[in-house]
A and B are shown apart, each in its own frame.
Chain A
Amino acid sequence: MDLSLIIALDVVNGASSLFLLCLGLAIIFGMMKIINLAHGEFVMLGAYATVISANAGLNIWIAMLVVAPLSVGLVGLVIERCLIRFLYGRLVDSMLATWGLSLCLIGLVTTIFGNTINGVPTPLGGFQLGAYRSSWYTIFLLAMAVLMMALVYGVLRFTRFGLVARAVMLNPGMAATLGVNPAKVYMATFGIGAAVTGLAGGLLAPVSGITPVMGTAFVAKCFITVVGGGAAIISGTLSAAGLFGFVNQLGAFLTTPVYGEVILFLSAILLIRLLPQGISGRFFKGTL
């Protein structure tokens, strides 16, 4: 009984961290069709922002929840203005440019902060569940995932900005004739996507080893999840993150971590074969 509860917790933890990691990518890729190969580096920047401000004496919660998204969001805005805005509608070029950007960011962070492992201790501590122990931070990650989901849904569904953003993504020409400046909307969306990714980096900082190259461990999984999820940002990402997180964690527990990864990738291939439009292309059509 305790064991199944603890495994359920692992699965939920895997799914919620995957969801947090993917949300920013889903916003950028899903709404703007920009393949951001520097996504992993945005995560890394968020983690660095957290570690550096926390080690400089800032409260860890402020470092994670405020500093990380704000700083990465700003970086995202600068990058959008200098690089991405020339690449809308040029899928292959955007891949090449953001890949270069990812190498550049890795190099920059290595030069400034060195190539060693950084980190901050995990706050909150652990709790006992029968004969097993787990950490409160797992629960906190789950809460954050739910909160972020609600936040993004609320903004897209109920605010004027959300409406305008969705309109621009659907048909930029028509939106422009109605008096919206698509360039500004793109810029804001990219900045928000970057900020959400930075937040994920900040949230994962206390449970990761932070190096300039840590982003590469995430980027493949994130893309698979976003592509597997399909066009709908929230329902797609949520269902894919839930499915892949479940498959990966349970696979890792029942077999070995190696097979956990293998099973994850196999199920992703199967999913894309059966549902080429992603989960939301089939089941949650028309949702957000």
Chain B
Amino acid sequence: MALSRRDLLRTAAAVPLSTLAMPALLRSARGETPILVGSLHDQSGPIAASGTPMVESLKLGIAEVNAAGGLLGRPLQLVHYDTQSNIQMYSQYAQQLAVRDKVAVVHGGITSASREAIRPTFNRFRVLYFYNVLYEGGVCDRNTFCTGTTPAQTVEKLVPYAMTKGAKPAKKVYIIAADYNYGQITAKWMQKYVKDQGGETVAVDFFPLDVTNFGPTISKIQSVKPDLLLSALVGGNHTAFYRQWTSAGMKDQIPIASTTFGLVNEPTTLNAAESDGILGAYGYFEELTTPASTAYVAKLKKQSPGIPYISELAAGTYEGFYLWVEGVKKAGSIDRMAVTEALETGLSFDGPTGKVTVDHATHHVTRNAYLAAVKDRKWAVRETYPDAKPQDTAAVCNLIKNPRDNKQYEISI
């Protein structure tokens, strides 16, 4: 058969068109119109390793709810856009989710910058929004639920532990952090907790995300001789720090505690000599051995065998999704205000991390925090802090008193 250029073009055009028509077909097949769940996560670009397990978690949750007969008798359907680690894509797809797809809820945003790019859009178009990532705290917005941990839930536990439980008690602390709002604000919290513990912060250094050579910093740290190094370095380029630190032989000289190490797959990338003993505190670790956690990890690995490390981000997304499901069940509707009010009654969900409860005043959650140390390229969980409250945000935000409040407070320390 001779295939002319026109034929080829016509066939090529027909394929995407028929795929576009798929949701309509699906709809008539199921009998009920599905409830659309929006998702904005990076699946490509520098942040993809974090985004991929989050989307898999959402898919898992949706599959589970659908297998159990759907929500309010209707199936759930995921509308996911790959935001490509690009803030512009976030703004664009947020509009699309709100205006064209008219989704019932959106789960998404990874970096704080991406969250602040899309939060106003969902406010304007009145679409309920869940941000399921650990972050610097302070968002106060009745349309938004933040289900990740904030510094009061993790950094507050990490700093005293690292300062007191090391080989020798630490007095002088050196802070290194990524140079954007997360790193800047987290570094402030670190300084506060170091001071509360009676220690002294000798220096704070920020690094743009594309810094790869840490030689001068390592020399500088050596010249100051701190007892403890606190790190909020972010991303693939910054992993080089731990490598260069070890190759200079500093690994066993000064201990490291980090609020970001292990959120991607640092422990499996670095070898044991480079990462053993590094401390971290998060809302979840894949290595957690509670039955709920092992079941969740097994299900995710079955669904997606090559999945990157399942961190707090993935578990938080799963729990954020289920909190929304609980809200819809209680409200008996997917209406934004009805679901919000249902959630505000203090709904909770028993997820892989333990019990997660919505806090009315802040729209954050009370959840367990865990502290772990790297051992043989895996996290070994050392401490559990049950029911950690988002006290940092609670200090500045009260949505019971001011339901119309809508901003991110920079918590002054």
Minimum CB–CB distance from B191 to chain A (whole Å) comes to: 16
- Contacting residues, chain A, for B273 (C-beta < 8 A): 121
Given the complex of chains A and B, what is the CA–CA distance between A217 and B213 in angstroms?
11
Judge whether B270 is part of the interface by a CB distance below 8 angstroms: yes
B44 and A257 contacting across the interface, CB-CB below 8 Å: no
- B48 to A, closest residue via Cβ: A115
Given the complex of chains A and B, what is the CA–CA distance between A121 and B238 in angstroms?
15
Given the complex of chains A and B, what is the CA–CA distance between A3 and B216 in angstroms?
11
Mask for B242-261, Cβ within 8 A of A = 1, else 0? Answer: 01101111100100000000
- A3 to B, closest residue via Cβ: B223
- Contacting residues, chain B, for A206 (C-beta < 8 A): 243, 247
- Contacting residues, chain B, for A138 (C-beta < 8 A): 215
B306 and A207 contacting across the interface, CB-CB below 8 Å: no
For A124, A207, A218, which residue has the most chain B Cβ atoms within 10 angstroms? A207
A208 and B215 contacting across the interface, CB-CB below 8 Å: no
Judge whether A249 is part of the interface by a CB distance below 8 angstroms: yes
Given the complex of chains A and B, what is the CA–CA distance between A218 and B237 in angstroms?
11
B236 and A134 contacting across the interface, CB-CB below 8 Å: no
B211 and A110 contacting across the interface, CB-CB below 8 Å: no
Judge whether A13 is part of the interface by a CB distance below 8 angstroms: yes
Given that A121-B243, A207-B244, A214-B237 are known contacts, is A135 also in contact with B269, CB under 8 Å in the complex?
Answer: no
- Contacting residues, chain A, for B205 (C-beta < 8 A): 256-257
Judge whether B274 is part of the interface by a CB distance below 8 angstroms: yes
- A250 to B, closest residue via Cβ: B216
Find B208's partner among A114, A117, A127, A257 (CB 8 Å cutoff): A257
A:128-162 near B, CB below 8 Å:
128, 131-135, 137-138
For B179, B235, B248, B253, which residue has the most chain A Cβ atoms within 10 angstroms? B248
Given the complex of chains A and B, what is the CA–CA distance between A13 and B248 in angstroms?
13
Judge whether B45 is part of the interface by a CB distance below 8 angstroms: yes
B44 and A110 contacting across the interface, CB-CB below 8 Å: yes
B:289-334 near A, CB below 8 Å:
306, 308-309
Minimum CB–CB distance from A17 to chain B (whole Å) comes to: 7
- Contacting residues, chain B, for A3 (C-beta < 8 A): 219, 223
Given the complex of chains A and B, what is the CA–CA distance between A9 and B248 in angstroms?
12
B49 and A207 contacting across the interface, CB-CB below 8 Å: no
- Contacting residues, chain A, for B211 (C-beta < 8 A): 217, 257, 261
A208 and B207 contacting across the interface, CB-CB below 8 Å: no
Given that A121-B273, A207-B243, A257-B206 are known contacts, is A132 also in contact with B236, CB under 8 Å in the complex?
Answer: no
Given the complex of chains A and B, what is the CA–CA distance between A138 and B210 in angstroms?
20
Judge whether B264 is part of the interface by a CB distance below 8 angstroms: yes
Given that A209-B238, A257-B206, A258-B179 are known contacts, is A217 also in contact with B212, CB under 8 Å in the complex?
Answer: yes
Judge whether B96 is part of the interface by a CB distance below 8 angstroms: no
Chain A's interface size range is: 35 or more
For B44, B210, B213, B217, which residue has the most chain A Cβ atoms within 10 angstroms? B213
Judge whether A191 is part of the interface by a CB distance below 8 angstroms: no
Minimum CB–CB distance from B385 to chain A (whole Å) comes to: 28
A122 and B244 contacting across the interface, CB-CB below 8 Å: yes
Minimum CB–CB distance from A21 to chain B (whole Å) comes to: 10
- B241 to A, closest residue via Cβ: A209
Judge whether B288 is part of the interface by a CB distance below 8 angstroms: no
A133 and B243 contacting across the interface, CB-CB below 8 Å: no
- Contacting residues, chain B, for A217 (C-beta < 8 A): 210-212, 237
Given the complex of chains A and B, what is the CA–CA distance between A117 and B267 in angstroms?
10
- Contacting residues, chain B, for A121 (C-beta < 8 A): 243, 246, 270-271, 273-274
A116 and B49 contacting across the interface, CB-CB below 8 Å: yes
B250 and A133 contacting across the interface, CB-CB below 8 Å: yes
Given the complex of chains A and B, what is the CA–CA distance between A6 and B248 in angstroms?
11
Given the complex of chains A and B, what is the CA–CA distance between A262 and B62 in angstroms?
47
- A260 to B, closest residue via Cβ: B216
A122 and B243 contacting across the interface, CB-CB below 8 Å: yes
Given the complex of chains A and B, what is the CA–CA distance between A216 and B44 in angstroms?
14
- Contacting residues, chain B, for A122 (C-beta < 8 A): 243-244, 246-247
B49 and A115 contacting across the interface, CB-CB below 8 Å: yes
Judge whether A253 is part of the interface by a CB distance below 8 angstroms: yes
B239 and A119 contacting across the interface, CB-CB below 8 Å: yes
Given the complex of chains A and B, what is the CA–CA distance between A107 and B308 in angstroms?
17
B:172-218 near A, CB below 8 Å:
179, 205-208, 210-213, 215-217
B49 and A117 contacting across the interface, CB-CB below 8 Å: yes
Judge whether A277 is part of the interface by a CB distance below 8 angstroms: no
Find A117's partner among B219, B247, B266 (CB 8 Å cutoff): B266
Contacts A/B (CB < 8 Å), 18 sampled: A116-B49, A117-B264, A117-B265, A118-B269, A122-B246, A125-B247, A126-B250, A127-B249, A204-B212, A207-B247, A209-B237, A211-B237, A214-B212, A214-B237, A249-B215, A257-B211, A257-B217, A258-B207
- For the complex with contacts A121-B246, A214-B237, 17 further pairs of A-B residues with Cβ separation under 8 Å are A10-B216, A14-B213, A116-B49, A116-B308, A122-B244, A132-B219, A135-B248, A138-B215, A206-B247, A207-B213, A209-B238, A213-B45, A249-B216, A256-B206, A257-B217, A258-B208, A261-B211
Interface residues of A (CB under 8 A from B): 3, 6-7, 9-10, 13-14, 17, 107, 110, 114-119, 121-122, 124-128, 131-135, 137-138, 204, 206-211, 213-214, 216-218, 249-250, 252-253, 256-258, 260-261
8 nearest A-B residue pairs (beta carbon): A126-B249, A209-B239, A211-B236, A122-B247, A135-B247, A115-B48, A217-B210, A253-B216
